[in-house]
Amino acid sequence: MTEIKNQLNLNIIHEVKNNGRLLSDVAKQYGLSTKVVYQLVRQSEQQPASRTIVLKSEITQLRNKIRRLTQELTLMTQ
């Protein structure tokens, strides 16, 4: 559940910072208040180390998933 929440937060931040969307539009899209979206964006700017930790965690999870899928594929093709 936390992974989903982190990904959702990253998507919201990406929409505002990288796509230049208005806080209010992003808030409506995700069913949040403008204040919550503002706080997420502000926190992302104040805590770059925290974002790095989240991204490293996601990278590790994706590498593990790739490893597992590669093993499954190898077993299926034998």
Same domain, yes or no, for 56 and 31? no
Same domain, yes or no, for 40 and 67? no
Same domain, yes or no, for 19 and 36? yes
What global pTM score does this model have?
0.58
Count of structural domains, the chain = 2
- How many CA atoms lie less than 13 Å away from 2 in the CB half-sphere? 3
Q: In terms of pLDDT, which residue wins out, 51 or 22?
A: 22
pLDDT at residue 1 is higher than 70: no
Q: What is the mean pLDDT of the chain?
A: 88
Residue 6 banded pLDDT, cuts 50, 70, 90: confident
Same domain, yes or no, for 33 and 60? no
Same domain, yes or no, for 21 and 38? yes
Query: What is the rounded average pLDDT of the residues 35-64?
Result: 84
Same domain, yes or no, for 6 and 18? yes
Report the C-alpha gap between 61 and 21 in whole angstroms. 29
Same domain, yes or no, for 40 and 52? no
Q: Among 62, 55, 61, 57, which Cα is nearest to 14's?
A: 55
